[in-house]
Amino acid sequence: MVLKSVNKLKGQLKVPADKSISHRSVMFGSLAEGHTEISDCLLSADCMSTISCFKKLGIEINVDKEKGHVDVYGKGLHGLTSPSGILDTGNSGTTTRLISGILSGQSFSSTLSGDESLNTRPMKRIITPLSMMGADIKSKNGNDCAPLIINPSKLKGIAYTSPLSSAQVKSAIILAGLYADGETSVTEPYLSRNHTELMLKGFGAEITSENKTATIKPEPKLVGQNITVPGDISSAAYFIAAGLIIPGSEILIKNVGINETRAGILRVCENMGAEIVYLDPKNISGEPVCDLFIKSQPLKGSVIEGEIIPALIDEIPIIAVMAAFAEGQTIIKDAADLKAKESDRIYTTVTNLKKMGADITATDDGMIINGTGALKGAALDSFADHRIAMSMAVAALAAEGTTDIENADCVNISYPNFYKDLLSLTK
Ligand code: S3P
């Protein structure tokens, strides 16, 4: 993908539906009794992996790709049936980890496997707590990665203190907790995204959240729901950054989910000196949503660490791009888990931005960026990571000259129309 420097971005757009919420609505709809109707569902490659897994597990799911509409005919907590063959989770960590929790509680065996990247991502983080619950879950090749083989077993409730602030780990345990013999709780160092807790409650589960602990009671009766999925702040992030750093820009981003456990990027932009205008606040399916008006403005460096990290973990590559255009130093710490994403995002962000002339250094748990206020076009690689491709596309429009991004079509994982939407603002 070849992208050239642009003068400004102007216009409005509606970003695609939230990926995390779309996955969960299909999964919980499959475990509920009756019809779950999902409007504005994301139907990117990752969410299609979830849909195809649940179809293989015997659930009728009808997809209208044009409308982003999905009908799930759930069969209740014990309605899944033995899949014929391997469950293919593609590139999706969320599918793999959350479904592992569900499959641990079934009376049949299953094998999960994904693409090359997925099958190198760490699964010990779920194998350990699920095994503590009594699950029979093993890494096929003994390397703590997928393929995972899950055999039937009886699950017991546990109180797990997680070493990681990870919504995927938390959700895997909570979902196994649906099938346990008693209450299950998960405590994390800092609160990660809470979509599982909010949505499961909406389906009828007895689940409570107190500070950093979520607790679930087993064997609830989940009932099908009507869900509208709000826009994804992780997709909006690219337009927020582009609007701020490309001089003369004015962008209205409609229908963005701003759940506090996801909206760390907005707080960072404000700490960097940006003024973001929040318009038309509303609540959609239990999630706060609003429109964001973004105008280009000068940014200053910031320190990003600790509690806020889980609320912006997927946005760090694009925050690094903003930091390159800011005045002063930005330090990103406590984000070592970036190495365990679709690519090692410390390495892939730093490598690409260095090629564009940024003053950026990788650290063990993040990166340090000395803003120079400018970047230059270069030959880049997405490393088949959708968030790296989108971050570098924004950097390319803001940089001088021409940038060529290899493997740019991996945006299909979360945002198939990304380049179309981005380029629509240049006209
Ligand atoms: C997600 C949780 C995060 C995030 C991922 C989606 C989710 O991962 O990076 O893109 O939907 O639960 P971790 O839980 O591994 O931090």
pLDDT, tens only, 320-365: 999 999 999 999 999 999 999 999 999 999 999 999 999 999 999 9
Ligand 1, atom 9, lies closest to the CA of: 314
Does domain 19-228 fall into CATH 3.65.10.10?
Answer: yes
Ligand 1 environment, Cβ below 6 A: 20, 94, 166-168, 171, 192-193, 313-314, 337
The per-residue pLDDT for range 262-315, each reduced to its tens digit, is 999 999 999 999 999 999 999 999 999 999 999 999 999 999 999 999 999 999
Atom of ligand 1 nearest to the CA of 23: 11
Atom of ligand 1 nearest to the CA of 171: 12
Task: Give residue 254 CA to ligand 1 midpoint distance, Å.
Answer: 23
Task: Give residue 41 CA to ligand 1 midpoint distance, Å.
Answer: 18
Q: What is the pLDDT of residue 393?
A: 98
Residue range(s) occupied by CATH 3.65.10.10 in the chain:
2-16+230-424, 19-228
Which SS3 state, helix, strand or coil, does residue 323 take? helix
Which SS3 state, helix, strand or coil, does residue 329 take? strand
The per-residue pLDDT for range 90-121, each reduced to its tens digit, is 999 999 999 999 999 999 999 999 999 999 99
Q: Is 334 a catalytic residue?
A: no
Q: What is the pLDDT of residue 191?
A: 98
Strand order in the sheet with 136-139: 87-90, 110-114, 148-151, 136-139
Residues in a beta bridge with 33: 75, 223
Burial of 334 (0-12, 13-18, 19+ CB in 10 A): middle
Atom of ligand 1 nearest to the CA of 341: 9
Mean pLDDT to the nearest integer, 151-176: 98
Atom of ligand 1 nearest to the CA of 125: 15
d(CA 388, CA 288): 27
Give the rounded percent of residues in the chain with a pLDDT score beyond 70.
Answer: 100
d(CA 108, CA 298): 57
Q: Are strands 207-210 and 366-371 parallel, antiparallel or unpaired?
A: unpaired
Q: In a mutational test of the pocket of ligand 1, which residue from 94, 186, 195, 319 has the highest number of ligand atoms less than 8 Å from its CB?
A: 94
d(CA 172, CA 86): 19
Task: Give residue 5 CA to ligand 1 midpoint distance, Å.
Answer: 32
Q: Which of 232, 314, 337, 421 is catalytic?
A: 314
pLDDT at 144 over 90: yes
Q: Which class in CATH covers the domain with range 2-16+230-424?
A: alpha beta
Strand order in the sheet with 69-75: 60-64, 69-75, 33-39, 226-228
**Would you list the DSSP string of 1-49?**
-EEE--S--EEEEEPPBPHHHHHHHHHHHHHSEEEEEEES---SHHHHH
Q: Yes or no: say if 114 and 92 are a contact pair by the CB < 8 Å rule.
A: yes
Task: Give residue 297 CA to ligand 1 midpoint distance, Å.
Answer: 30
Task: Give residue 192 CA to ligand 1 midpoint distance, Å.
Answer: 8
pLDDT at 222 over 90: yes
pLDDT band, very low/low/confident/very high, at 427 (cuts 50, 70, 90):
confident
Task: Give residue 356 CA to ligand 1 midpoint distance, Å.
Answer: 28
Ligand 1, atom 4, lies closest to the CA of: 314
d(CA 101, CA 106): 10
Mean pLDDT score of the chain, rounded to an integer?
98
Atom of ligand 1 nearest to the CA of 166: 14
The per-residue pLDDT for range 365-378, each reduced to its tens digit, is 999 999 999 999 99
Q: In a mutational test of the pocket of ligand 1, which residue from 168, 234, 315, 343 has the highest number of ligand atoms less than 8 Å from its CB?
A: 168
Q: Yes or no: say if 247 and 398 are a contact pair by the CB < 8 Å rule.
A: no
